[in-house]
Amino acid sequence: MLDQLAKGERLLEMIFDEASRPSMQWLRKETAKRQMLFIKRGRFVFYRPRSVLEWFKQKEQLPASMTKF
């Protein structure tokens, strides 16, 4: 299921729980900045959930106190 294409609203439902789900506006801004991978077919934009999860994994950062080891 993570490799199937999903529209933005479905993507957010798939990878975030309701309490921490970002808005569609946030997703559109990140897409416009080309920060995450997407596929455009005509006027429709699709995402591959696995690719978005990998993008988040790359964005994870350790606290500064843990990088001094």
Q: What are phi and psi of 67, to 5 degrees?
A: -85, -5
**Paired tokens of 66:** 């843990």
Q: Is residue 69 part of a domain?
A: no
The pLDDT > 90 percentage for the chain reads 67
pLDDT at 62 over 80: no
Q: Is residue 58 part of a domain?
A: yes
pLDDT tens-digit readout, 26-59: 999 999 999 888 999 999 999 999 999 998 888 8
Q: Is residue 68 part of a domain?
A: no
Q: Is residue 2 part of a domain?
A: no
Q: Is residue 25 part of a domain?
A: yes
pLDDT at 69 over 60: no
Q: Is residue 1 part of a domain?
A: no
- Confidence at residue 67, expressed as pLDDT on a 0 to 100 scale: 61
User: What is the extent of the structural domain holding 58?
Assistant: 8-63
Look up tokens 């975030």; give the residue.
Answer: 16
Q: Is residue 27 part of a domain?
A: yes
Number of structural domains the chain divides into = 1
Q: Is residue 15 part of a domain?
A: yes
